């Protein structure tokens, strides 16, 4: 009798250990399946405050591309263009035939025609994935996004957005929340910006819808749906992660590039000596 009792006790103990192990093993998987819940601001919204930066080659070319010789050969490897996997969903930007020809011409003349070279404001979405950080500042009313490149900035109107008086480089941004996702409707951009250094462009009919979704304490998923019936046969989309800058003293520094391009833009107008 005693032996049977011992065997029964051992069996029960082993079963309890096994059940505990299975429970503990399942817990991380169950937790992993749960969506990330971002910290909240005072008004209960997802807290996106911080300095963020894309880590990819989208500013060189949104589409998949191989590494290639730079436009200034004398710079060698320093000026070479890096390859990248691309950020366009489906792989290709759906240009209309005439627009595709213009894009090709832009690519061939990118050394002189890219607005970035001239220090023009980058527009949306390009400002997000240039190789510079940007800062999101949330208030209880609106949201400010400040970009290091050229001192660009924009205010996201989270209440009733006023009418857009005129087209501009950074356009007009009206935002709202869908759960933890910040959704921004961008209209009113002029037709002077490019999406990248490869010559991808748009017209003044550009309409961009951005989505910023927290993925973890230090990462956001950025998506932008792009629509322009004058240039593309259908809407298309880009997506990429954005990473928080974690340096102890992380901050937006000054990169006001106008002074760097004065000779390029205005040197031909300088009065020559003796004239």
Task: Give the pLDDT score at 261.
Answer: 87
pTM: 0.85
From CA 7, how far away is CA 17, in angstroms rounded?
A: 15
Cα–Cα distance between 72 and 106 in angstroms, integer? Answer: 17
Residue 70 lies in a domain: yes
Decide if 29 is inside a domain. no
Residue 30, pLDDT above cutoff 60: no
Identify whether 31 is part of a domain. no
Whole-number average pLDDT of the chain: 89
16 within domain boundaries:
no
In this predicted structure, the answer to whether residue 3 has a pLDDT above a threshold of 50 is: no
Per-residue pLDDT band for 272 (boundaries 50, 70, 90) equals low
pLDDT at position 259: 87
Has residue 40 been placed in a domain? no
Nearest to 143 by CA among 52, 243, 248, 240: 52
* Burial of 200: CB neighbours in 10 Å, binned 0-12, 13-18, 19+: buried
The answer to whether residue 83 sits within a structural domain is: yes
Which of 247, 270, 186, 230 has the alpha carbon at shortest distance from 96? 230
Total domain count for the chain?
1
Question: Which secondary structure element, helix H or strand E, spans residue 216, and what is its range?
Answer: strand 207-216
The owner of tokens 């259908």 is: 234
| Residue 89 resides in a domain | yes
| CA pseudo-torsion sign 210, 214, 64, 84 | positive
Asked if residue 274 is part of any domain, the answer here is no
User: Per-residue pLDDT for 23 more than 70?
Assistant: no
Least confident of 4-13, 91-100, 186-195: 4-13
| Host domain of residue 129 | 50-265
Q: Residue range 208-226: average pLDDT? A: 98
Which DSSP helix (H) or strand (E) runs through 110?
A: helix 110-113
Q: Is the pLDDT assigned to residue 31 strictly greater than 60?
A: no
Backbone angles phi, psi at 177, to 5 degrees: -105, 140
Q: Which of 65, 173, 52 is nearest to 124 (CA)?
A: 173
What is the rounded CA–CA span in Å between residue 169 and residue 194? 11
Residue listed under structure tokens 């989309």? 237
């Amino acid at each position: 009798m005693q032996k049977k009792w011992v065997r029964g006790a051992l069996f029960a103990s082993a079963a309890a250990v096994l059940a505990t192990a299975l429970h503990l093993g399942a817990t991380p998987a169950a937790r992993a399946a749960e969506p990330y819940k971002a910290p909240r601001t005072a008004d209960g919204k997802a807290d996106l405050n911080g300095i963020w930066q894309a880590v990819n080659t989208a500013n060189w070319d949104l589409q998949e591309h191989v590494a290639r010789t730079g436009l200034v050969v004398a710079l060698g490897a320093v000026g070479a263009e890096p390859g990248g996997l691309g950020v366009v969903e489906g792989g290709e930007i759906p240009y209309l035939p005439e627009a595709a020809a213009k894009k090709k011409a832009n690519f061939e003349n990118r050394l002189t025609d890219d607005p970035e070279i001239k220090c023009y404001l980058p527009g949306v979405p390009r400002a997000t994935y240039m190789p510079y950080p940007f800062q999101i500042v949330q208030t209880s009313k609106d949201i400010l996004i400040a970009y290091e490149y050229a001192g660009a900035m924009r205010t996201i109107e989270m209440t009733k957005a006023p009418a857009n008086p005129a087209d501009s480089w950074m356009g007009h941004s009206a935002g709202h929340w869908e759960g933890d996702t910040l959704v921004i409707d961008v209209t009113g951009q002029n037709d002077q910006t490019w999406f990248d250094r490869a010559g991808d462009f748009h017209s003044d009919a550009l309409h961009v819808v951005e989505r910023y979704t927290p993925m973890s304490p230090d990462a956001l998923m950025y998506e932008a749906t792009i629509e322009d019936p004058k240039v593309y046969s259908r809407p298309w989309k880009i997506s990429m992660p954005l990473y928080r800058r974690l340096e102890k003293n992380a901050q937006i520094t000054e990169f006001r590039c106008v002074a760097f391009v004065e000779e390029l833009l205005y040197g031909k107008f300088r009065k020559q000596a003796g004239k």
